[in-house]
Amino acid sequence: MEQPLPPEKAGPSRTKRILQAAISLAVAWALLFGVLPRLADFGEVWEAVRSLTFVQTIVLMGFAAWNLIGYQLVMMASLPGLRMRHAFLTGQIAAAVTNTVPAGSVVGIGVTYAVLSSYGHGVGNIAMASVLSGWWNTLVVFALPSVAALILALRGGTNGLLLTGAAIGLALLAAAIAVLVLVSTSERFARAVGRISARAVSWLRRLFRKGPVSGWDEGLARFQRGSAVLIRQRWHWLTLATVVSHLSIFWVLLACLRDLGVGRELISWPGALGAFALVRLATAVPITPGGLGLVEVGMTAALMLVAAEGAQVESAVVAAVLLFRALTFLLQVMLGVACYGLWRWEARRHRAEEEGLA
């Protein structure tokens, strides 16, 4: 069992976490307020956003609402028996944490465990659903640049950066599929991966004066036995739900571009899909919370690269990207806070009812 650090030795770890959070937020601030204003005049950006009509606003909110539902389909496909309402509350709370906390993906997994377990789902099922949904999400992220490059080529276009991203994505996709197949079909391979991963993590933990981890080989063996059945039964639903989830986010971006005057003659939908795919691939490893700053600058730069030659779309593109992030990032954070309050209220009411019956 891991021994806790003495109180006097706990400070550096806490200091390091605070420093990492500060650096992460500093990077996001520098990108948003240092780099982005150099790409377009913010006064013109604001005017572009204000030009939206009531009907356009309603349409955008409709796309944003569908996007909120999209990811819940992935959770429901990976966790049989999960109801839409519970999936929605869990997804929004986890997304709010992931998008606002440094290393939020790790914290988000813990939040997902807490919420789903309160609805009666077993820890093992939650763990398997988290791994499978995350893995399928990664597969689609790796595959998207190749799909976008193929569509663009079929329409007579090409883009060197997109082709490079497609090549990298295909290599990562092949490796990810190979690992998934081996881990889910071979208990021996799963145990080997568990032992190697445990050694690597234990070595890293020793650098921070923490004890080694153990039992990962047995844990992956259990995952292999359970995941083989679930993958065989639901792989098609997982794939469909994950593709729909990613396309739902892209549709919000495309709707923002079109409503702000960036027509298909300036940026075609395959070009926009290519830019979207490249940024998703580049930000697969989170550096800032929710990719804050990185996504805005990266998406703007990528869209300008695929724009028609000589097109003056800087202000409209920046406006579209910021509006896109407001509808897919900021909206989720606000909803997540509200959903967290609702979940806590329901939990208190449930406890009060149980105590009343006791």
Instruction: Spell out the per-residue pLDDT of the chain, length 358, in tens.
Output: 344 444 444 444 567 666 666 666 677 677 676 777 777 777 878 888 888 899 999 999 999 999 988 888 998 998 888 999 999 999 899 888 888 776 666 677 788 888 998 888 887 788 788 888 888 998 999 999 999 988 888 887 777 788 888 899 889 888 888 877 777 777 787 788 778 877 876 776 676 566 776 776 777 777 777 777 788 888 889 999 999 999 999 999 999 999 998 999 999 999 999 999 999 998 887 777 778 888 888 999 999 988 887 767 888 899 999 999 999 988 888 998 999 999 999 888 888 877 776 5
Please check whether residue 58 lies inside any domain of the structure. yes
Answer yes or no: is 9 within a domain: no
Answer whether 85's CB lies under 8 Å from 70's CB.
Answer: no
User: What total number of domains does the chain contain?
Assistant: 1
* 97 is a domain residue: yes
DSSP one-letter string for 170-181: HHHHHHHHHHHH
Residue 283's closest CA among 101, 109, 141? 141
Q: Residue 261 sits in which domain range?
A: 15-357
Alpha carbons within 13 angstroms on the beta-carbon side of residue 23 total 8
Tell me if 5 is assigned to some domain: no
Four-CA torsion 189, 191, 194, 196, nearest 10 degrees = -70
Do residues 292 and 331 lie in contact, with contact meaning Cβ atoms separated by under 8 Å?
no
